[in-house]
Amino acid sequence: MNEGDRHPFLRGLSAHRGAPPTVAIIFGASGDLTARKLIPAIYNLAHDNLLPSDFQLLGFSRKDLGDEQFREIVAGAVAEFSRRPPDPEVLARVKSSASYLSGGYDDPAAFKELATRVEAIEKSLGRETQALFYISTPPSMFKPILENLGASGLAKRHLGTRLASKVIIEKPFGKDLASARDLNAVIARVLDESQVYRIDHYLGKETVQDLLVQRFANAIFEPLWNRNFVESVQITVAEEVGVGTRGGYYDSSGAVRDMIQNHTMQLLALTAMEAPVSLDAEAIRDEKVKLLRAIQPLNLQGRPDVVRARYAPGYVSGEKVPGYLEEETIPEQSTTETFAALRLSINNWRWAGVPFYLRSGKRMPHRVTEIAIQFKRPPGNIFSQSDRFDLAANTLAFQIQPDEGMTVVLNAKVPGLETRTQPVKMRFGYRTTFGSNTPEAYERLVLDAMIGDGTLFIRGDETVESWKLITPVLEHWKELGDSGLESYAAGSWGPDAAEALLKTTGHNWRRP
């Protein structure tokens, strides 16, 4: 929104300080995500005085709870999961704004009651209020919730104004192309795309948002950011943990659905996209979709572009851990992958011929998310004697988490009488330059949805393009069963087959 379009009394304030009167309704209010992320996010926004002064929180779930019980859940969630210790005054305010409604997600009567409750809240506040719906339920409930929002009229409140209802939908958005399209069709019947906020919390991370700034606010990178200078790109999203108590969900999902189709593809899009014409949400999302469309279908036969694997027993951080099939909730006959590696080709002028390597897995040596751009070596190298010159390929690495920052690997002369070289690292660290105590991703995302900024959310066509690439892989694996499912020791960087994926093109996986 242009500054001139804003109400005169909001001009000069950043958009995030002008959130309109809002009642936030969380579907799945008794769930894990609500406790771990959403309530702490709302608390911290209240702490920073970024919530509208008459903000109301309404929890909705099937559990039979009263208002007071829900308020105690709110207090407990803040105490346990907030990045800041609770301030009694702020917590009291958040608690007093919270209420609860129990009902079935597929029960029209419950949504009628919800609509009545929302209207009553608006009347008591004396001014028009937007309804922000957060769907944090099992994916099977997304459709009935959306349909009921439509049938009850809640989806169409204040349509065409800045107070129009908004719906945030958690991942997974579909489990394949058909289901994602189906879900988009349901959304289109009930809502305008501008009302929809498909969440990928990686986009709320400061370091991910910094990617566009680094790429397009610094003139030195763009001339090199193409096939003439880039040798390869590696994106790693590694987790140290196993499936833990999430086995039931994870076994029906796997590494590709859980991490690659969404988070990793978003990192790829931001790394490889063209410069947007502006910082408007649609301009950025248009470029991401364009990039996703340029990715070539993956080769699944002969020399496949994908590797999948499952962790076996091993050692992580010095502790012995069981293999995937030994985990409590995992069935013996599971063929779910806990690791996947892909080699992608992007067919456009910028990237033709540059391999993009993506990998994600559980029970890897440590938790790290990194994007590494490896550059080509200088031509006709005068430093070619390998016994004197230890040359590394210049690499620009973005550490998304932990230890957020950027590293550049250069070659420098070792002090001495002879000319010898050695790789050195230059580093920019977020913590030492900006400190921590930055907002958590969910704080940013919830507030962005409240003010109607969709930049950090996934558009319908983005998720379709991502599923178009990934779905043939999943279908192929389903046909194969466990044939071709590799194994890797927990605590290692993945199977040998993943190493072989790069060796064929003379590359090696990084050890971030």
Partner 1 sequence: MSGSDTRTIFESLPGLEVPVGKVVQSLDEIWAGAPNGGESAPSEFRASQMNLVLHLGMRTTHEAAATQFEIALALSRRHPARTVVLCPIQQGEPGSSMRAKIFSECYIGASGKEMICCEVVMLSYPFDTRCYLENQVSVCLEADLPVYYWPHCIASAARLEDYSHLLKGSRRIILDTGCETEGVEEALAPLAGKLRDLADTRLLQVRQSLGRYLSSFAPATLVDGLRTVTVGHKPALAAEARRLLDWARRSLDQCGGPPPAEAVFSIRSDESKGPAGLSLDMDYATTAHTIRWEADFDAGHARMSANMGAGDIAAEGPVSLLKPEVALAEAIFS
* Contacting positions for partner 1 (CB under 8 A): 7-14, 17-21, 49, 52-54, 89, 93, 125-128, 429, 431-437
Mapping DSSP to helix (H, G, I), strand (E, B) and coil, where does residue 257 land?
A: helix
Nearer to partner 1, 41 or 306 (CB): 41
Q: What angle do CA 339, 345, 350 make, to 5 degrees?
A: 135
- Burial of residue 220, with CB atoms counted within 10 A of its CB: 0-12 exposed, 13-18 middle, 19 or more buried: exposed
- How far apart, in whole angstroms, are the C-alpha atoms of residue 30 and residue 22? 21
Describe the strand order of the beta sheet including 356-361 as a list of residue ranges: 420-429, 405-414, 395-401, 368-375, 230-238, 356-361, 339-344, 306-312, 485-489
Examine the residue annotation and report whether 158 is marked as an active-site residue of this protein. Answer: no
Mapping DSSP to helix (H, G, I), strand (E, B) and coil, where does residue 205 land?
A: coil
Kindly state the tokens that stand for 479: 């046909």
Cα dihedral 360, 363, 369, 373, rounded to 10, equals -60
- How far apart, in whole angstroms, are the C-alpha atoms of residue 97 and residue 54? 8
- Burial of residue 419, with CB atoms counted within 10 A of its CB: 0-12 exposed, 13-18 middle, 19 or more buried: exposed
Closest distance to partner 1 from the beta carbon of 342 (Å): 34
**Which one is catalytic: 263, 366, 476, 507?**
263
- How far apart, in whole angstroms, are the C-alpha atoms of residue 377 and residue 224? 13
The answer to whether the CB of 392 falls within 8 A of the CB of 407 is: no
Q: At what angle do helices 39-47 and 441-451 cross, to 10 degrees?
A: 80
Nearer to partner 1, 126 or 416 (CB): 126
Q: Which residue has tokens 């210790």?
A: 85
Name the residues annotated as catalytic: 263
